[in-house]
A and B are shown apart, each in its own frame.
Chain A
Amino acid sequence: RKEVEQDPGPFNVPEGATVAFNCTYSNSASQSFFWYRQDCRKEPKLLMSVYSSGNEDGRFTAQLNRASQYISLLIRDSKLSDSATYLCVSPSGSARQLTFGSGTQLTVLP
């Protein structure tokens, strides 16, 4: 089993829709997580950090369920500019290196 697994996608949604991505992790000792977004052929950029039960930033809400070992990202009122690949990330290992999921591709359609 991969350490971090994400919905395979791709997700194609109309503008204004609400979309949710799920991510599961296998290391029960993981304390914090990140969501990164990556535009085509660009570097990943930090979207949100999740340290406790959840975090909200405008249209974006991240939730952490430690009992079930999953993290979710909810995007409300989708914009065309939200089209990107969303990467679920867990710092792990002795060096707290980032372990990435394979990413979920989102396309918001006009």
Chain B
Amino acid sequence: ETGVTQSPTHLIKTRGQQVTLRCSSQSGHNTVSWYQQALGQGPQFIFQYYREEENGRGNFPPRFSGLQFPNYSSELNVNALELDDSALYLCASSLTDTSGYTFGSGTRLTVV
């Protein structure tokens, strides 16, 4: 059973809409990362937060944004949804950068 929980588990949105995905990390895990995994591909890094500040970003446009809160929860927001945004979105948290990351079970987003 994972210590990282994500909500919702599944979501269907229409092109152009906005979506907010949520993640609750393990207590004490100051680092949280978000990944996008398209079908048949490995997860792709979106961005990372450390102590509520973004400290790394992958090759994703600004319409992908995030927040991290003091209670170890975080959000991924995507504006102006496109069909290609359909994917599994994974949240991962870590105690240190050498201890490995624990992933949540993901949110499967479908954009129609």
Binding site for B on A (CB under 8 A): 4, 32, 34, 41-46, 49, 51, 87, 91, 93-103
Contacts and interface: CB of A to CB of B under 8 A. Distances in A.
A44 B43 contact: yes
Contacts of A46: 100-102
A22 B41 CA distance: 17
A93 B97 CA distance: 12
Given A43-B104, A43-B106, A95 B55 contact: yes
A47 B103 CA distance: 12
Interface in B35-87: 35, 40-45, 48, 50, 55-56, 58
Nearest to A92: B45
Contacts of A100: 35, 42-44
B21 interface: no
Contacts of A42: 105
Contacts of B92: 98
B104 A97 contact: no
B2 A95 contact: no
Contacts of A45: 103
B2 A97 contact: no
B42 A87 contact: yes
